[in-house]
Amino acid sequence: MSEQVCTHCGSTFGPEELLFQCPKCGGPLEWRDLPRFDPKLIQKNMPGLWRYRPFFPEVLPERPLTLGEGWTPIVHVPKLGDNVLFKLEYVSPTASFKDRGVALVINQLHRFGVSEFADDSSGNAGASMAAYGAMAGMTAHIFSPAYAPKGKIEQIRAFGAELTLVPGPRPEATKAAVAMAEKGVFYASHAWVPVNIVGQQTAAFEVWEQLGGEMPDAVAMPVGQGTLLLGMYQGFKRLLEAKVIDRIPRLIAVQAKKVSPVVQAFEKSLDDVPAVEPDYTIADGMAITRPVRGKAILEAIRESSGTAIAVTEEEIEEARRKLALGGLFVEPTSAAPYAAISRLDIPATEKVLIMLTGSGLKKPDGGK
Residues that bind Zn ion (CB under 5 A): 6, 8-9, 11, 22, 24-25, 27
Q: Which is nearer to Zn ion, 25 or 275 (CB)?
A: 25
What pairs with residue 308 in β-bridges? 253
For 84, the 3-state DSSP assignment is strand
Instruction: Kindly state the smallest distance separating residue 242's Cβ from Zn ion, in Å.
Output: 29
Q: Which is nearer to Zn ion, 9 or 41 (CB)?
A: 9
Q: Which is nearer to Zn ion, 25 or 179 (CB)?
A: 25
Contact of 29 with 6, CB cutoff 8 Å: yes
DSSP per residue, 193-216: -THHHHHHHHHHHHHHHHTTT---
Angle at 225 between CA 219 and CA 193, to 5 degrees: 110
Instruction: Kindly state the smallest distance separating residue 4's Cβ from Zn ion, in Å.
Output: 10
The bridge status of strand 29-32 relative to strand 3-6 is antiparallel
Instruction: Kindly state the smallest distance separating residue 3's Cβ from Zn ion, in Å.
Output: 13
Angle at 204 between CA 202 and CA 208, to 5 degrees: 115
Q: Which is nearer to Zn ion, 8 or 157 (CB)?
A: 8
Instruction: Kindly state the smallest distance separating residue 157's Cβ from Zn ion, in Å.
Output: 36
Q: Which is nearer to Zn ion, 28 or 151 (CB)?
A: 28
For 175, the enclosing helix (H) or strand (E) is helix 171-181
The bridge status of strand 84-88 relative to strand 74-75 is antiparallel
Q: Which is nearer to Zn ion, 19 or 244 (CB)?
A: 19
For 142, the 3-state DSSP assignment is strand
Contact of 95 with 102, CB cutoff 8 Å: no
Instruction: Kindly state the smallest distance separating residue 152's Cβ from Zn ion, in Å.
Output: 33
Instruction: Kindly state the smallest distance separating residue 24's Cβ from Zn ion, in Å.
Output: 5
Instruction: Kindly state the smallest distance separating residue 20's Cβ from Zn ion, in Å.
Output: 12
Q: Which is nearer to Zn ion, 8 or 111 (CB)?
A: 8
Q: Which is nearer to Zn ion, 25 or 77 (CB)?
A: 25
Positive or negative: CA dihedral 99, 248, 302, 257: negative
- Nearest partner of 275 among 255, 257, 289, judged by Cα: 289
Instruction: Kindly state the smallest distance separating residue 353's Cβ from Zn ion, in Å.
Output: 34
Q: Which is nearer to Zn ion, 2 or 304 (CB)?
A: 2
Q: Which is nearer to Zn ion, 163 or 292 (CB)?
A: 292
Residues 6+ apart with CB under 8 A from 219: 207, 232, 249, 250, 251, 252, 352, 353, 354, 355
Inter-CA distances, 66 with 41, 62, 119, 253, Å: 20, 12, 20, 29
Residues 6+ apart with CB under 8 A from 243: none
Instruction: Kindly state the smallest distance separating residue 192's Cβ from Zn ion, in Å.
Output: 13
66: Cα within 13 Å, side-chain hemisphere = 19
What pairs with residue 256 in β-bridges? 259, 311
Instruction: Kindly state the smallest distance separating residue 6's Cβ from Zn ion, in Å.
Output: 3
